[in-house]
Amino acid sequence: MERAIELALEGVGHNAGGPFGAVVVLDGEVIGEAHNEVLSKKDPTAHAEVGAIRAASRHLQSFHLSGAELYTSCEPCPMCLAAAQWARITRIWYAGTRADAARAGFDDDHFYSQLALPAAERQMPAEELLRTAAQPAFEAWLARPDRTVY
Amino acid sequence: MERAIELALEGVGHNAGGPFGAVVVLDGEVIGEAHNEVLSKKDPTAHAEVGAIRAASRHLQSFHLSGAELYTSCEPCPMCLAAAQWARITRIWYAGTRADAARAGFDDDHFYSQLALPAAERQMPAEELLRTAAQPAFEAWLARPDRTVY
């Protein structure tokens, strides 16, 4: 966790992005680390946890990180939490909280509240369109005998 | 939306990942598109919507895509929905639903259910550690007069 916080400070020092750092650890070894780079990369998805998970996936050459733990200097936003779920991270440790992030001007807590609402009540509308037209893609997937579920 | 579905079919054809495609549109122009590449890139975050948002951000050289709409061949998972929130996407259109994704073997619906639970009740434990030690990173951020909030 101390390394994750150190990365957060580094990122702020470089004006790379918000004050967030993250480290992925497997069997006591760091296999991926990153700080937030939203500003320097002009990429809204370049959060510390996403960066650390991507680095760890490159390191293991695997889209699954089962058994790995994620240390992050702040409670993950919903994007990063779900990224950890897809990566099958085993456990998350966080230092700052979503309340700390809110005090620093970040919307994590707001987005968690929005996600808990029915889609129709969210600020960002999401509507269904052409559902039937999408079914052949699902059928093509299910028809692949070599499909890998992840 | 037809382009998003076409991308989904392309991705399955290449065995790049699941049957998902996405397009970001601004003022009637496609500014970013992608299909899922989790398998081919061995990257658990390489969902179609994340790819399309990253491509659009590169195109505009901006971490905000205000005014843009996201067309995706399937309802976004929580990671992709929150990525769209961070990018300030104005509206989402989706074809398949999280139920369609579940039938194809994907955990989107499960992850939504998990996110709605208190952290202590989720399958993936997330615990606070060293909260005080993280505060200097937030303070360093707030002390930057040139900080850009995103």
* Residues in A 117-146 with any Cβ partner in B closer than 8 A: 124-131, 133-138, 140-142, 144, 146
B4 SS3 class: helix
Residue B118 has pLDDT above 90, yes or no: no
- DSSP, collapsed to helix, strand or coil, labels residue B73 as strand
**With an 8 Å Cβ cutoff, is A40 touching chain B?**
no
pLDDT tens digits along A33-78: 999 999 999 999 999 999 999 999 999 999 999 999 999 999 999 9
**In one letter, which amino acid is A1?**
M
Are A8 and A25 in contact by the 8 Å Cβ rule? The answer is: no
Instruction: Supply the pLDDT for residue A14.
Output: 96
Q: What is the mean pLDDT of chain B?
A: 97
Q: What is the pLDDT of residue B95?
A: 98
Angle at A30 between CA A25 and CA A31, to 5 degrees: 90
Strand partners, B74: B96
Residue of B nearest to A71 (CA): B129
- Whether A128 sits inside 8 A of B64 (CB atoms) is no
pLDDT tens per residue, range A26-44: 999 999 999 999 999 999 9
Judge: B73–A134 Cβ closer than 8 Å, yes or no. Answer: yes
The answer to whether residue B119 scores a pLDDT higher than 90 is: no
Q: Which of A26, A30, A77, A68 is CA-nearest to residue A49?
A: A77
Q: Do A124 and B89 touch (CB under 8 A)?
A: yes
What residue in A sits closest to B9 (Cα-Cα)? A137
Q: Mean of the pLDDT values across residues B50-76?
A: 98
Which among B33, B37, B49, B75 is annotated as catalytic? Answer: B49
Residues on chain B touching A84 (C-beta within 8 angstroms): 124
Query: With a CB-CB cutoff of 8 Å, which residues 59-88 of chain A face chain B?
Result: 61-65, 71, 73-88
Residue in the structure block whose two tokens are 């968690």: A112
Q: Integer distance in angstroms from the first to the last C-alpha of chain A? A: 28
The minimal CB distance from A42 to the residues B57, B104, B106 is found for B57
A12 and B CB contact within 8 Å: yes
Tens of pLDDT, residues B91-106: 999 999 999 999 999 9
Q: What is the pLDDT of residue B120?
A: 85
Q: Is residue B55's pLDDT more than 90? A: yes
pLDDT of residue B116: 87
Looking at A17-127, list the stretches that DSSP marks H as alpha helix, in order from N- to C-terminal side.
Answer: 38-41, 48-60, 78-86, 98-103, 108-115
Given the residues A33, A37, A49, A75, select the one marked as catalytic.
A49
pLDDT value at residue A118: 86
The helix (run of H) or strand (run of E) holding residue B126 is: strand B126-128
Note if A128 is an active site residue: no
pTM of the model: 0.98
